[in-house]
Amino acid sequence: MAADGAERGLFIVFEGGEGAGKSTQVALLAQHLAATGTAVVLTREPGGTPTAEAVRTLLLAPATEPMSDWCEALLFAAARADHVAKVIAPAVATGQVVLCDRYVDSSLAYQGFARALPVEQVRTVSQWATGGLVPDLTVLLDVDPALGLARARDGNRMEAQALEFHQRVRAGLLALAAQEPDRYLVLAADRPVPQIADQVRTRVAALQSATPPARGATT
Ligand code: TYD
């Protein structure tokens, strides 16, 4: 139970490489939950608050000058700190289901595995930013970057990285999921949208019916 007596909600994150179909799936799940009477907050990273959206613009605009790797990692973490403090944590504490398009694993995969910053240091920074808030479930939509990039080019600064960079992102995300198989749902994203949506709903329904002490974690 949360401090005010409301039952704790759920925090569900969608991760994946470029063009994996996260935005579609997160929106479908939000519609489904709302239709079944669940209070849902749909949000994304980087972003989710006015300050974090301003940081997003800085991070994703085509580069006017190269940004140092730690500058990039710290800006993602700064945006996340505002987002968690003002949106995610309060909503979960008051019993809502928060669906977030990307979270800490994106930093570990893009800034850690792909940019080659030490993953454990990126993780530590993320823990400061989030106060240790860990998702109840992370849905990883896995797609071959060659396919994903072909179907999702919007030209942002991260997307413009070489294919090899995106292959490291993919390997990083799969490695993170393999470390905690119970907390991840890994789905091949090159399948029909309704089929994927169905698997996501089934898993979320199971989570919703789990007893509160069995879920929810901070580190
Ligand atoms: P976005 O247009 O939201 O991409 P997508 O639709 O694939 O989620 O851009 C977000 C980009 O920022 C994406 O390339 C992943 C990257 N990113 C990081 O590198 N680190 C992070 O911590 C986060 C949240 C995103």
Question: Which residue's C-alpha comes closest to atom 10 of ligand 1?
Answer: 46
Answer whether 74 contacts ligand 1 (Cβ < 6 A).
no
pLDDT reported for residue 6: 66
**CA 48 to ligand 1 center in whole angstroms:** 13
CA distance 10 to 88: 10
Q: Would you state the pLDDT for residue 2?
A: 46
pLDDT of residue 4: 52
Helix 119-130 / helix 69-83 crossing angle, nearest 10 deg: 30
Distance between CA 78 and CA 81 in Å, rounded?
Answer: 5
Q: Residue with the nearest Cα to atom 2 of ligand 1? A: 156
Pocket test residue of 158, 163, 166, 167 for ligand 1, highest count of atoms within 8 A of CB: 158
Query: Which parts of 125-170 are beta strand (E)?
Result: 133-134, 137-142
The finding on whether 199 has its CB within 6 A of some atom of ligand 1 is no
Q: Which atom of ligand 1 is nearest to the CA of 45?
A: 24
User: Phi and psi at residue 106, in whole multiples of 5°?
Assistant: -65, -40
pLDDT at 50: 98
pLDDT of residue 94: 97
Instruction: Please name the CATH architecture into which domain 10-209 falls.
Output: 3-Layer(aba) Sandwich (3.40)
Beta strand residue intervals within 94-176, DSSP E: 97-101, 133-134, 137-142
Q: What residue segments make up the domains of the chain, in order of their start?
A: 10-209
In angstroms, rounded to a whole number, what is the distance separating the alpha carbons of residues 182 and 189?
19
CB 138 within 8 A of CB 182: no
User: At a CB cut-off of 8 Å and minimum separation 6, what does 129 contact?
Assistant: 77, 78, 80, 81, 84
β-pair partners for 44: 101
- Residue 198 makes CB contacts below 8 A (sequence gap 6+) with none
Q: Is 72 in the pocket of ligand 1 (CB under 6 A)?
A: no
Ligand 1 neighbourhood includes 18 CB (under 6 angstroms): yes
Tokens of 83: 């987002």
Dist CA 25 CA 8 (whole Å): 24
pLDDT by residue for the chain (219 residues), tens only, comes to 444 556 899 999 999 999 999 999 999 999 999 999 999 999 999 999 999 999 999 999 887 788 999 999 999 999 999 999 999 999 999 999 999 999 999 999 999 999 999 999 999 999 999 999 999 999 999 999 999 988 876 778 888 889 999 999 999 999 999 999 999 999 999 999 999 999 999 999 999 998 554 444 444
Both ends of the chain: CA-CA distance in Å?
A: 18
Q: Check residue 59 and give its pLDDT.
A: 94
Radius of gyration of the chain (CA): 17
pTM of the full predicted structure? Answer: 0.93
Pocket lining: 102 vs ligand 1, CB cutoff 6 Å: yes
The residue to mutate among 26, 84, 106, 173, having the most atoms of ligand 1 within 8 angstroms of its beta carbon, is 106
Return the residue whose CA atom lies nearest to atom 11 of ligand 1.
158
Parallel/antiparallel/unpaired status of strands 10-16 and 137-142: parallel
